[in-house]
Chain A
């Protein structure tokens, strides 16, 4: 029996045999995107937050995206930018972790190795002028050492006590520099959560591509823990005083 081919009227489908012909194509703009990721080091490890929105331009298209994931045993990955590029990368990381597991010698890839591997992928794609349109935050504990690193579509990498991607680098990073920088070891989990909420609230108020449904996650010596989606309390009373708002 012949295989059934689906031909959807609204999509352009190139014939199978022609996939290697024609002009080469590149991601020239992101399609479905996630906005900021906010992360920092605190006393027990690394804490991170991102909302659940996958925007399609200005449309709040996908409202249940998971932008924080665990990689291996003690590594947390946060992503902003193109969601499909991220899902592709997730498969690559899964392959990497599976390959390591298959070695069956009791060794595993630490956060630094995951970060290095990810950075190499990003650098390789940048060199092909075909970047993965993302900014990633990698957090974890590697041999007792807290690791928090960043890598983006240009393969720019850096480590810092506080990291925020996208709009977060403008809106959340100043808050983190004030509240976290130089005192990571004094910050308890309670305070860390409070700081995180402050950042996410500011982002929700000011970044149009956010959504009041978010997840937070932490990596401690015990491992990775990603929360269920939750919402922040917000206050729109001030809106009444703004001329032209609502009624």
Chain B
């Protein structure tokens, strides 16, 4: 009877439902959530990438400055979130692949190519994922701001704006409202922001996130990437 119950349950599993795995023994969990938030906004000829720098585990703040967004050699910026150890290694691996491309083709890898490379890199660890939700920003072949968002196993999407990390549930709706113009009467779809607007929205997003999310705060690294290169500035957030 017990067996019957079990098999019935199995049969009732909807295709969209994930099966619950029952392990006979508990395995050590190698993942840690180090908190923090990252954001990306694409403009006409620029892209803005921002990440806070707090690293935490549970209620402990490990450090106030551990940058989560990294400038890569081909003038793109990779912003990460969640597992810091994986994020750091992922950046190293991606930078190495960018270097290999440079040596092979004698020119910097394009933003699009690197975006695809990042997807492949993540997927190569499909069975033991990098616990990282990356955002990649750069300038595309047409000189437009290119923003890419990924899940941990390499699903890739080009976006105009996106927020990931511990305060994503706070920041994403804000961006949906301010940039996406979602569900607003009379609004004509997504806005293309100017640099100043993007910068203000990014700063407001993070001051808001730092106010309500305990895992976001301390310092904010903002990268603005355009045809001329990468400009970085660091701002202070709440330290509490």
The residues of A with any CB-CB pair to B shorter than 8 Å are 26, 28, 123, 126-127, 129, 131, 150, 154-160, 169-170, 173
Contact = CB atoms under 8 A, between A and B. Distances in A.
Contacts, number: 44
B60 A154 contact: no
B74 to A, nearest CB: 23
A154 B30 contact: yes
Interface in B37-74: 55, 57, 60, 62-66
Nearest to A28: B28
Q: Which of A150, A154, A173 has the most CB of B within 10 A?
A: A154
A126 B130 CA distance: 12
Given A157-B85, A157-B88, A158-B55, A126 B30 contact: yes
Given A131-B30, A157-B84, 11 more contacts: A123-B89, A127-B30, A131-B28, A156-B55, A156-B84, A157-B85, A157-B88, A158-B62, A158-B84, A159-B63, A170-B60
- Top 6 nearest A-B pairs (CB, nearest first) are A160-B63, A155-B85, A158-B63, A154-B32, A158-B62, A158-B66
A202 to B, nearest CB: 16
Nearest to B25: A28
A26 B128 contact: no
Contacts of A26: 28
Given A129-B28, A131-B28, A156 B89 contact: no
B34 interface: yes
Nearest to B89: A123
A27 to B, nearest CB: 8
Given A26-B28, A154-B31, A158-B55, A126 B85 contact: yes
Contacts of A150: 62
B65 to A, nearest CB: 8
Contacts of A131: 28, 30
